[in-house]
Structure 1
Amino acid sequence: MDLLTQALILTGILFVFLAGGLWVAMALAAVGLVSITLSSSAPPGLIMATTVWGSTATWTLAALPLFVWMGEILFRTRLSEDMFSGLAPWMGRLPGRLIHVNILGCAVFAAVSGSSAATAATIGKMSIPELSRRGYDEKLILGSLAGSGTLGLLIPPSIILIVYGVSAEVSIVRLFIAGILPGLMLCGLFMAYTAGWSLLNPSRTPAFDIKMSLLEKIRASGRLVPVLSLIVFVIASIYQGWATATEAAACGVAGALIISAVTGSLSWKSFIDSLMGATRTSCMIIFIVAGASFLSVAMGFTGIPRTLTQLIQEMNLPPYALLAVLTLVFAVLGCFLDGISVVVLTTAILLPMVEAAGIDLLWFGIYVVLVVEMSQITPPVGFNLFVIQGLTGRNIFWIAYAALPFFLLMIVAVALIVLFPEIATWLPGQLSDR
């Protein structure tokens, strides 16, 4: 059987499994079993056992459940509400007013949760009722929330960056540092669009009705201090080399528990709920990583990745052309799979091509996350769209239309990091120089 036929059969089997509702991890592992059976006489069961153990029994991957738990603690306590209340008084004089609370709130919460869905859900629960009551434009409310929620994938500590780092064998610390400037850039683009829209539509932007003195604003901002302190501590400990990503995650969990206990928002129920929520999410992600790792090894038996790499080299595609093709591939996959599944599914096949084209794997990780962010607000499987639909009851395609301007801004962000790769590589370079 030639490689093209084999690749088409395996792709068809994968889509049949996924369309049939089989778990992503099991679908990946099943395709791996079929791959080895068709192309080799090697024992697939032994290979699966060895690969699954090798891919999951790593100290680096221990950071993932800890960062997930840290986000769950904040999600289920009053700290997220304090963050919203601390931001709101300062946004009134900006064009767009309280819509910026959506964007900045998502950026801040993303830095402690690492999850796009958790970010959109947490900020949406607080902002949607409040902004709707004040008369803000519904499309802008939901569009800004859907778009800004994706910052949870990029701003460190990002769960998907941990998964990419493990899959691509790239330093997670350097990936975290690389995500800071692109995350801030994307946040700035969202705020600039919101301000521009507000200036063009003054009649659809309500007057600012929060009357507070400077001293009252400063006091309200005090509620931001615990969450911001936790963010600064976690990121600084990684950047300064005081702790590895896993150690920083453990300190982050301890800090979140202490802060929520001191502020009186930690109860036994919220503790158990956060622990179980983190357990479910972490098991799902690690199960997917295990299935994808086995599929990666199975692909090596088929020879498909090696053949594709040779084909790319023979085509002599310039890096820009290759990235344009990969952007389209990721965008299509993102319409059917969640972001983590896209990353682990494509890493084994694409990384040899990317290395052959001379593209830096650290920069490529940030590029992949930006493109996967786009898929979070594209139907039919845009996870942020599902979250917001659950909060509002709105049709998912209507929410996707509301988020379209922010989707286009993500395309601008991808173009900017392609044209100016230093946006992603400069800060990690400073880390290396120490």
Structure 2
Amino acid sequence: MSQRRAHRAAILHTVADPREVGIEACYQYFEDGLLVVEDGKVVQLGDAEELLPALGGDVEVVTHGDALITPGFIDTHIHYPQVGIIGSYGEQLLEWLETYTFPGEAQFEDIDHARAQANLFIKELLRNGTTTALVFGSVHKQSVDAFFEQALELNLRMIAGKVLMDRNAPDYLRDTPESGYADSRELIERWHGKGRLHYAVTPRFAPTSTPEQLAAAGKLFNEYPDLYMHTHLSENKAEIEWVKELFPERDGYLDVYDHHGLIGARSVFAHGVHLCDSECARLGESGSAVAFCPTSNLFLGSGLLDLEKLEGHGVRVGLGTDVGAGTSFSQLQSLNEAYKVLQLQGQKLDPFKALYLATLGSARALYLDDKIGNLQPGKDADFVVLDYCATPLLEHRTGRADSLREKLFALMILGDDRAVKETFAAGESLHRR
């Protein structure tokens, strides 16, 4: 039995979607709160004055001054082999793949390179307060081994998969329907359900897989319980036209995946910027999710995601950084850009809704809200300590705030990795600034 430990600070988490219950009912806030952790789980949460008297003298209490504890951030779409190309100049999606992505991913054939990049990637996630991510590997199965080895050692809740890609890519990055299926199955047997790890069947996107490979991916997705499916959808207008040319027999981009058995619970589609109403309705009724990746969509000039339309059709929406087309590992920065994306469409992103998207909303998109996403007792003790005084400007701005909403909004607009004081996964400190 591990030692019980308590963390004292202002504590904030969401308990429901504000769209469903309203802003005031969607969150719990403890101005002087106590989070009690044991065996990697939250065992108590509440006001410090109420919980401290019954805590027991042997329980260590750690006080975090000028700080806010929130659940760990959840990233519903990110590419770990693309860390080395983040911030590369001047292309839109299809040119980006040819110019930067494919050459960068070729290096992951080398397991030592993959391990070094996995180490850097995980450190960056933790430095930015992200405790769970849905992660693209490369086409090489050793890229997934390298990532999961390190995630398991740190007892992180992570989801990842080997890319499936058998056409419209360089020869050195192609697999086949047969080899992709066999390699993925081997990785599933080795990693899925081990510790807090989950596997995602991962076709890059429809244009780089033949119908035969998509059929094999659909077969695999339905062969094992609780697998994920992770791919891209309707990110870029030229991409959508390409899909129509490659699959003229199908009724649109989403129907390509639907026809091959790749939609449903735990199917996560990155982007979804240019979806029609019927596609949104099909995503909603099937229980599929969309990963909203604002920094990437702006950087590549892809377009503006219509959050109101997606949620109006009952689509689960999570937040993603999409590094390396995305420009920051920080979900605070993702929310900064999401606010602007929605402003341009006449929509508002309330700070409490923003926190929901980065935590419980993303957990729901991943069907993990019974385990992560907020700090209710019984959940995994994955949380982050945010520093109101991380920079002189942030300290000045939050010091002038006259409400919790205003302080939270300042964190979201002005905050980045510097605002993350400490990151905990399963109750253990894995990053301290």
Normalised by the size of structure 1, how large is the TM-score?
0.27
Larger radius of gyration, structure 1 or 2? 1
Normalised by the size of structure 2, how large is the TM-score?
0.27
